[in-house]
Structure formats: C-alpha cells, structure tokens
Amino acid sequence: MSATIQSNVVPEVVFDGRVIRVERNMVTLANGRTTLIEAVRHRGSVVMIPQPTPESMVLVRQFRPVINRWIWELPAGSLDEGEAPALAAVRECEEEITLTPRRVTHLASWYPTPGFCDELMHFYLCEDLVTPGAPVAQDEDEQIEPATFSLADVRTMIADGRIVDMKTVVGLTLVQQRQAGSHETQFG
C-alpha cells in the first residue's frame, strides 16, 4: 500500500493571507478512500535559541492576541519568500533581541502541527552574540521585550506554567541534550 495521497483536483484556496494560505482539497488516501482535507500552508519559520553564555538563553515576552495573553518564548519568525533558514535566523535574532549571532548552528527541524499545517520549524542555536553595526527595524505588528534567563530559571518557568509555548520547551531540550553531549534528539 502506498504511503502517499493523491489530490483529485486543484485545491480551493479558502483564504490567502500575509503569513498563511488555507486550502480545501479532495484527496485519495493510500487505503483508497476519498476525503476532504483542509490544510494551512506556511512558508516555514525559524526558532532561535540565543545563548549569551552556555548556561543562559534570551527569551522574549510578547503579547499573543490569538490566545489573548503575554507569554515568554524563544524568539522566532517566518521565513521570507525564498530566504535560507540560517539567514532568517540571523535576521530574526537581530529584529527580536537586537543582537547579531556570529555563530548559528542548525539543531533540528520539525513540523509542529502536521495534522493540518505544513509549517516546518527550523531550530538554530545562536551564539557569540554582538550588537549590530546599525539600528535594526522591528516588525510593526510586534511588541517584544527580550530578557536573559539562566537555563535553570527557564526550566522552572516551564514547570510552573509561566512558559506555555511548545517551541520554547523543545528549544530548551535541544540545548540540554547538546550540553550533555548527545547529538541525538530524544524526547520522553
């Protein structure tokens, strides 16, 4: 049995926005059944793990209107059209925490919600952080407050519910595994 699906028609675009596109499409599954799917299409994103020191990381506090609350999270952002993820990590780091990483290391890439969205998140360790040579413009639709925390404080913030963002939990896990000498990503 084939593990792929086959689209029966050109997808219907339900919404085409600045960040996402929503499509509806009839597909034939590997088992031969036909079903209607709704898919959110996204260019992909980068998640930066800025580490001023090996025992600290920079988080950003920002208001997330979709969940109507302020949250602490790792800085992240969408890829620009055709942009390489490593370059986006540098650009987004400058925009969100006003520091430029001189060393950017790809740690992993995952689909956070593959049941309905094709966004691929690329996680980057950002080290050797320096002040940019020129002022960096922030996105107009963001209000961001960066702050540096110890890794122990980040663990506590996750445990007590102050951090509710999944990518931040994953990012901390990647850093801890790297520091432990494991280059295999293991969860659970």
Mind listing the pLDDT tens digit for each residue in 176-186? 999 998 655 55
CA pseudo-torsion sign 74, 50, 20, 166: negative
Report which of 74, 89, 4 is spatially closest to residue 44, judged by C-alpha positions.
Answer: 89
Q: How high is the pLDDT of residue 8?
A: 64
3-state DSSP assignment of residue 2: coil
Predicted local distance difference test score (pLDDT) of residue 182: 65
Give the helix ranges, DSSP H, for 18-127. Answer: 85-97
Measured from the Cβ of residue 28, the count of other Cβ atoms closer than 10 Å reads 15
DSSP secondary structure code for residue 116 in this structure:
T
Q: Rounded CA gap, 72 and 102, in Å?
A: 24
Q: Look-up: residue for tokens 């969205």?
A: 117
- Model confidence pLDDT, tens digit, residues 100-126: 999 999 999 999 999 999 999 999 999
Answer for the pair 112, 124: CB distance below 8 angstroms, yes or no. no
**Cα–Cα nearest to 100, from 72, 126, 77:** 126
Percent of the chain with pLDDT over 70: 91
Cα distance between residue 39 and residue 115, in whole Å? 8
Domains of the chain and CATH, by start? 6-42 (no CATH), 45-179 (3.90.79.10)
Report the C-alpha gap between 79 and 118 in whole angstroms: 13
Q: Tell whether pTM > 0.85.
A: yes
The mean pLDDT value for 94-102 works out to: 95
Residue with tokens 């413009």: 137
**Mean pLDDT of all residues in the chain?**
91
- The pLDDT tens digits for 19-31 are 999 999 998 888 8
